[in-house]
Amino acid sequence: MNSQPKTSMNEQPDPSWKPEEQRGVQPFALVKYFSFTSLSVILVASFVLTWSFSDNARDTMLDRSESYSRMFAENLNRQVFHSFVIPTVIRFGRIALSDETQFELLDQMVHNITRGMNIEAVTIFDSRENIVSYSTDAALVGKKNIGGIEYKKALTGESTSLLISNGSMLNLLPGASPMFCTLKTYVPFRQERRVGDRSGEIMGVILVVKDLSEDLEAVVSLQFRVLLLSLTVMGILFAVLSAIVIRANRIMEARAEERRELEQQLHEAQRLAVLGSMVASVSHEIKNPLGIVRSTAEILGKRLAKLAPGNEHLAKIIVDEITRLDGIVREFLDFARPKTPTKTSGSFNRLVQRLALFMDVEFSDKHIELINELDPELPECAMDEDQVYQVLLNIVFNAIHAMPEGGKLTVRTFTGAEGISLAITDTGSGMPPEKLEQIFIPFFTDKNRGTGLGLAITKNIVEQHGGEIAVESEEGIGTTFTVTFPGE
């Protein structure tokens, strides 16, 4: 036994596992951080671009409207000078808009020119004083000092524009005040020496008031739609990214959990390997002395029968207990050094019939009714019949232990999609879920005199045959073990 390698059964897990797991999670944490940071940057950039685009559209609209108003004012200047000023001076000798006839002539001309032009008002100021000489808004005629600084700039020959507006996306909300936008353009009213030459004396100031409320509303609506589209796209991107992150988190958690389980299985396997090596060594050392003790007890029993009749049962007790210990040692050896199965063509049905003959007396003594539901057309499969018979015995012995007062034991064979199956059902006490999870763990047992290796050896044999073993149990109803081997 001293030749065995010294390996601690309490060996601690390799600490390299956890850092490796953390190394797997940390890069993804960085990916999440940069993903959400990038999303925030893109969202802010979308707001900025949307706002810049809308402001650019608004500025373009205002520039074009201002240019249009100036062109209109210059055209109005030319039309009024040539079609009103000159004819009126020739006809009346001077311009006097206080004269109702002259005012009506000018008013009719201005209305004809502005018809369909979306011009809200046209006002003409006198050049000698800041007074309204003419306006399409009759309430303004005769008012003084309403021209402001723009009037003074126009008298110096400088055209200016003044924008008065109140409009944003808040005005699109229900119940909000309507948006408005008014462009006032002040242009000097000059004499023309010839057509197109406006370098003459300044006769007054023309104020053109243009209503841009509809244009502003269109720009704000466009701004709102672009912003809404950007938010929708970003919302979709965020949802997709969130779904990816959540799914990736779950995958990473699942992999981490799988890694932890593999780590636990590895160390459990290492522990069992050390334990198996130790058990094999101990069992090997115990087996020979047990054989000697048994032989000695059998000889002692024969002598007691001659020398002290009536006491030979004492030697029989020793032989029986040694036989039980020999069985335990054999189980230890089977677990520690499992045999490689020698597979030949075998049949579950044949093994069940063999079991029925062997256990007939046991079933009668335990008041257990054996019910065989064997598929007569069940195909044979590759197996080591002796090992599979051991599997069958181990399961049946557990079923008998679960039915101390008797019951029914049903053995069924059938062919399914997964292969050839053998199901053993008892009407015993059943098992709770917490016990069901541990029945295949080596050395787990609820028996007073058991090693807890029977089902562990059973599972090992089934897996060496490439098969699967499953168990279903319900307390107070019974338990079903199902062994499935792949078909040929």
Domain holding 148: CATH number? 3.30.450.20
**Shared-domain flag, residues 364 and 217:** no
- Residues 123-176 pLDDT 10s: 999 888 889 988 988 888 889 988 889 889 989 888 888 888 887 777 777 777
Task: Flag whether 51 is in a domain.
Answer: yes
- Looking at 169, 194, 223, the residue that finishes a domain is 223
Strand partners, 408: 369
Residue 110 lies inside a defined structural domain of this protein:
yes
Q: Is residue 441 part of a domain?
A: yes
Question: Which of 188, 223, 258 is the C-terminal boundary of a domain?
Answer: 223
Report yes or no on 294 lying in a domain: no
User: Residue 434: inside a domain, yes or no?
Assistant: yes
Assigned domain for 234 exists: no
Q: Which of these three, 172, 201, 223, is where a domain ends?
A: 223
| Among candidate residues 322, 170, 87, 126, the one with its CA nearest the CA of residue 134 | 126
Domain count, the chain: 2
pLDDT interval class at 403 (50, 70, 90): very high
Domain co-membership, 167 together with 28: yes
| 347: CATH | 3.30.565.10
Residue 311 domain-assigned? no
Give how far Cα 171 sits from Cα of 48, 166, 179, 211, 223, Å: 20, 9, 6, 17, 12
The set of long-range contacts for 430-434, using a CB threshold of 8 Å and a minimum separation of 24, is: 430/402, 430/473, 430/474, 430/475, 430/476, 430/477, 430/478, 430/479, 431/473, 431/475, 431/479, 432/475
pLDDT number for residue 468 = 92
pTM of the model: 0.43
Given pLDDT bands bounded at 50, 70 and 90, which one contains residue 23?
Answer: very low
- Per residue in 29-86, pLDDT (tens digit) is 555 666 667 667 777 777 777 777 777 777 787 788 888 888 888 888 888 888 888 8
The gap from C-alpha 485 to its chain's centroid, in whole angstroms, comes to 38
How far apart CA 429 and CA 479 sit, in angstroms, is 8
Strand duo 180-190 + 202-211: pairing: antiparallel
Distance CA 435, CA 430 (A): 10
Same structural domain, 165 and 28: yes
Tell me if 269 is assigned to some domain. no
Residues 345 and 472 in one domain: yes
Q: Which domain holds residue 54?
A: 21-223
User: Which are the contacts of 215, defined by CB distance < 8 A and separation ≥ 6?
Assistant: 61, 65, 181
Are 71 and 213 contained in the same domain?
A: yes
**Average pLDDT for residues 86-92, to the nearest whole number?**
83
Distance between CA atoms of residues 436 and 481, nearest Å: 11
